[in-house]
């Protein structure tokens, strides 16, 4: 996938409006997406100077029009930081092009704007031992739930699940991911756990944004889960990167 240079002649105070379809990508930590940033040829355009790991990378990439994809896409990849509130924070900034306000700098505003074609959440998950997923598996999530909830007089609507988009050619369309602020060993009716997807899904539903989530299993949810995750991440993410790259290149065909 070849990167197209962006136009840097437009004044920073008046971001250029691109007609190219825009795709938003959300990743929690840098280790999960270093390969994607390199393969897509994205350039850093913003970093949260107040601390944390939040950063934005963007660029124009060529799709595979010959095989049914769009000819060109504008990609914005956000490193959100861990947990739902950080992911929703930066997603809202991307949607409304408010990046410069965080650092009080017009020059850090993105040149890409307009309604996104869709959003992709990408990253690793912990799978349950003796479940249907193994370390190295990569897949699109079908449904996301929230498990870390203890609400008096709970209304089921408040903790409802969200159904995500899956490509027409995806073999498995039954994988359920559950989100919380801590990891557990198992949750009924679920296959894996993360810490951001539920909040992202809620935001996207409200704003009418199509959401896809490509996950890969880096560890099991057990006593060595955190250590195994960082040990395995670089080895197992390559297949997931290829999966999401093929999806992006053939966007019109698969969506």
Share of the chain above pLDDT 70, in %: 87
pLDDT value, residue 110: 57
Q: Which of 25-29, 110-114, 169-173 has the lowest mean pLDDT?
A: 110-114
C-alpha closest to that of 201 among 168, 172, 241, 161: 161
pLDDT value, residue 154: 82
Predicted confidence band of residue 59 (pLDDT cuts 50, 70, 90): very high
Indicate if the pLDDT at residue 226 is higher than 80.
Answer: yes
Q: Which of 2-6, 84-88, 212-216, 219-223 has the lowest mean pLDDT?
A: 2-6
Q: How far are the Cα atoms of 48, 114, 199 from residue 101, in angstroms, in the given order? A: 10, 18, 23
Indicate if the pLDDT at residue 26 is higher than 90.
Answer: yes
Q: Contact, 190 vs 176, CB < 8 A?
A: yes
pLDDT value, residue 7: 40
Indicate if the pLDDT at residue 31 is higher than 80.
Answer: yes
Summarize the confidence of residues 68-73 as an average pLDDT: 87
Indicate if the pLDDT at residue 134 is higher than 80.
Answer: yes
Top pLDDT among 7 and 86 is at 86
User: Distance (Å, rounded) from C-alpha 25 to C-alpha 27?
Assistant: 7
Summarize the confidence of residues 175-196 as an average pLDDT: 96
Share of the chain above pLDDT 90, in %: 65
Instruction: Give the total residue count for the chain.
Output: 255
pTM score: 0.88
Predicted confidence band of residue 165 (pLDDT cuts 50, 70, 90): very high
Under DSSP, the state recorded for 185 is: S
In the chain, the domains with their CATH numbers are 20-250 (3.40.50.1580)
Average pLDDT over the chain, rounded to an integer: 87
pLDDT value, residue 75: 95
Q: Contact, 244 vs 36, CB < 8 A?
A: yes
Longest dimension (CA), the chain: 56
Indicate if the pLDDT at residue 107 is higher than 50.
Answer: no
């Amino acid at each position: 996938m070849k990167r197209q240079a962006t136009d840097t002649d437009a004044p920073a105070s008046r971001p250029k409006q691109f007609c190219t379809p825009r795709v938003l990508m959300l990743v929690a930590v840098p280790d999960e997406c270093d390969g994607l940033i390199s393969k897509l040829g994205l350039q850093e355009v913003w970093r949260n100077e107040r601390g944390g790991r939040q950063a934005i990378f963007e660029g124009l990439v060529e799709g595979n029009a010959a095989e049914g994809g769009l000819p060109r896409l504008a990609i914005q990849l956000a490193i959100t930081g861990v947990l739902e509130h950080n992911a929703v924070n930066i997603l809202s900034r991307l949607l409304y092009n408010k990046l410069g306000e965080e650092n009080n700098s017009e020059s850090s505003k993105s040149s890409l704007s307009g309604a996104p074609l869709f959003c992709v959440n990408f990253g690793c998950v912990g799978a349950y031992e003796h479940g249907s997923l193994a370390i190295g598996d990569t897949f699109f999530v079908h449904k996301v739930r929230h498990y870390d909830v203890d609400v008096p007089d709970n209304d089921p609507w408040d903790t409802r699940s969200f159904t995500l988009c899956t490509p027409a050619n995806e073999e498995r369309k039954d994988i359920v991911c559950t989100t919380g602020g801590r990891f557990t060993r198992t949750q009924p009716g679920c296959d894996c756990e993360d810490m951001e997807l539920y909040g992202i899904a809620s935001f996207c539903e409200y704003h009418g944004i199509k959401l896809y989530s490509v996950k890969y299993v880096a560890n099991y949810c057990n006593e060595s889960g955190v250590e195994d995750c960082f040990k395995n991440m670089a080895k197992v993410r390559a297949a997931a990167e290829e999966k999401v790259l093929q999806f992006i290149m053939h966007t019109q065909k698969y969506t």
